[in-house]
Structure 1
Amino acid sequence: MKVAVIYASTTGNTEAMANAISDAVKAAGAEVIFSTADSANKDDVLSSDVILLGSPAMGDEVLEDSVEEFYSGIEGSLNGKKVGIFGSYDWGDGQWLRDWTDRLNNAGAVSIAEPLMVHLTPEEADVEQCKAWAASAIK
């Protein structure tokens, strides 16, 4: 199984989540494509069995710019693809993940897990939650 873990991080919080998720996917024996959104190869990502996308909440609870650009570039090709989303936030209530979920549903993506959200810096329990989320997402 090939799993793409694509993310952006402005403070390191979403990166910490992405690292924990990638570690769990590797531990499960899957091949991992691990990249920031600004350098990810769209064809490699779209050829993956599972796509896990991460973005911090920015501004008025929107995706980080490079994630928005990357996601917009693959959005039309997600019909039937297994996708999970994750991210970190400082304020708000997770609206950016709900909006992203709506976009995924409208694109025909298959949601493989509830969106994963961590407030600020992932603590040890949050890292374990990221690993458990990743393990369930690739089953």
Structure 2
Amino acid sequence: MSKIAVIYWSGTGNTAMMASEIAAGIGADAEVFSVDAFSGSVADYDKIAFGCSAMGDEVLEEAEFDPFYTSIEGDLKGKKIALFGSYGWGDGKWMRDWEERAQRSGANVFDEGLIICGAPDADGKAACKEYGEKFAAY
């Protein structure tokens, strides 16, 4: 059994909903944390799914999430990670930039980051759950 964390930031609740569905797909091994509640070490987890909404000009949230991610980025080398988040505009540039950044840090990035425009509907929730199932098997 793998120890898997789901760590996210959500401004409107959309990415929080995604985190919950992804964790449901992962199953009992998932531990879910909002970024401000995570006080552990990424080294304690075999896999981590990171979630953050697109903000501003399609960037990671700058007050909480990006500083957190920057602080643990050096610990991601060789770590299996997944990326997800919601957006309200743009074409997913923040996710492509984030994937590239994670790969440069040496992380083993699972699949493409999962993005959903706005709140996940029934199909979006199903996609999140499936993403979690596949990440757990990764």
Q: TM-score range by the shorter chain?
A: over 0.9
Aligned residue number for residue 115 of structure 2: 117
Q: Is contact 1:78-1:107 (8 Å) kept?
A: yes
Aligned residue number for residue 9 of structure 2: 8
Q: Which segments of 5 or more consecutive residues in structure 2 lack a partner in the other structure?
A: none
Give me the CA root mean square deviation: 1.0
CA distance in 2, matches of 1:13, 1:73: 24
Of 38, 44, 48, the residue aligned with 2:45 is 48
* Paired-residue identity, %: 41
- Normalised by the length of structure 2, the TM-score is 0.94
1:42 is displaced (CA, Å) by: 4.3
Residue 135 in structure 1 maps to residue 136 in structure 2: no
Of 28, 37, 46, the residue aligned with 2:35 is 37
Q: Which SS does the other structure have where 1:138 is aligned?
A: helix
Q: Which SS does the other structure have where 1:54 is aligned?
A: strand
Runs of 4+ aligned residues of structure 1 deviating over 3 Å after TM superposition are none
CA distance in 2, matches of 1:41, 1:73: 12
What amino acid is aligned across from residue 49 of structure 2 in structure 1?
L
Q: Which segments of 5 or more consecutive residues in structure 1 lack a partner in the other structure?
A: none
CA distance in 1, matches of 2:43, 2:69: 11
